[in-house]
Amino acid sequence: MPVKRRRPRPALVRWVRATLAAGLISLASGAAFGATDGLRVEVVATGLVHPWAVAFLPDGRFLVTERPGRLRVIGADGRVGPLVAAVPRVDAVGQGGLLDLVLDSDFARNRTLYFCYAEPDPQGQGNSTALARAVLSADASRLQEVRVIFRQQPRTASRLHFGCRIVEAPDGTLFLTLGERYQRMADAQTLDNHHGKVVRVTKEGAVPPDNPLVGRAGALPEIWSWGHRNPQGAAWGPDGRLWIHEHGPQGGDELNRPERGGNHGWPVVTFGEQYGGGPIGEGTHKPGMVSPLYHWTPSIAPSGMAFLTSDRYGAAWRGNLFIGALRGQHLVRLELDGTRVVREHRLLTGGRERIRDVRQGPDGWLYVLTDAPDGRLLRLLPAR
């Protein structure tokens, strides 16, 4: 006679679900993320509402932005703290909200941080990406001395393509990626606006005198490079240059090194096509326009990126570039030879979770945020 399999008891099922949700056991103990990844996943915190960026406080705690407009401190033990007070009002519509966050390189002394967000127009005439600086209070309960140091111009009524990744360069200047706001894609090719640009400013919001367009008539001096679509990942590379990635339309997500005064082509050249089919622009290359280092077709919808500088995962992974995938629901690992992508690996493919951010922590481990109403902060460890 065939053996009857017992159905799991409802109480046991509820306990497992509750325990997983609380992060008390790791999904990596099963097959959810795939044993072939060479990784196991440790759940640090759960219950985050569409988390967008994570930063690491000197005392071992984490600072996380939530897209609806909230900033939270997470303890080293994973406990999610109350809301940090005095965050400015954000326009949490579509892809907009409270987005990227980085700590000042001298945070341990000055407690200064920088964040970018969708700032609503006071007159109700749309929104734009804003970059602000603030001081985190000594008890980490509130922001102090909040000041916007850059505003994308012009504002527009759009729910899409805010860009909004921040990188502090070794010289102390700040790079900010800016989307072209979707409806205004032609603006990415003109220099009298901030749509589809990478900008570079000082920590006070001033224009560095060595920016490429300083003194050029009709050009905004904050602009570093242009012809971008929607850059949602940025990191300082081991080559001493800024690296970014950006969303293509239907196909054509790109990995780029924004050149000083460089035109990266959108929407004149692209490896993507119109949603539903049909060409965009004039092809994939054009003289005078910078081609991507790498592209993804079909799209993976990249978000967040980090170069691994530690040996925590073995020498073969040191120097690799890690990129989250929203649509792809995985973590990309790129092996590099200088600026050339040698090989692509796809990790965490079994989790079916949108990876919003990836960062290397001070401990050398990689951390990722999952984008969901019940988002999670995860620590990636080598498989045993």
Q: Report whether 271 contacts 281 (CB < 8 A).
A: no
CA–CA gap between residue 196 and residue 67 (Å, rounded) = 21
Annotated catalytic residue, options 50, 161, 228, 295? 161
What gap in Å lies between CA 200 and CA 262, rounded to an integer?
13
Short-list 339, 336, 334, CA closest to 322: 334
Q: What are phi and psi of 110, to 5 degrees?
A: -105, -10
What SS3 class is residue 174?
Answer: strand
Give the closest residue to 46 by CA, choosing from 68, 77, 16: 77
**Angle at alpha carbon of residue 346, lines to 341 and 348, rounded to 5°:** 145
**Polymer length in residues for the chain:** 384
Residue 121, classified by CB atoms within 10 Å of its CB into exposed (0-12), middle (13-18) or buried (19+), is: middle
Based on the residue annotation, tell me whether 161 is a catalytic residue of this protein.
Answer: yes
Active site residues: 161
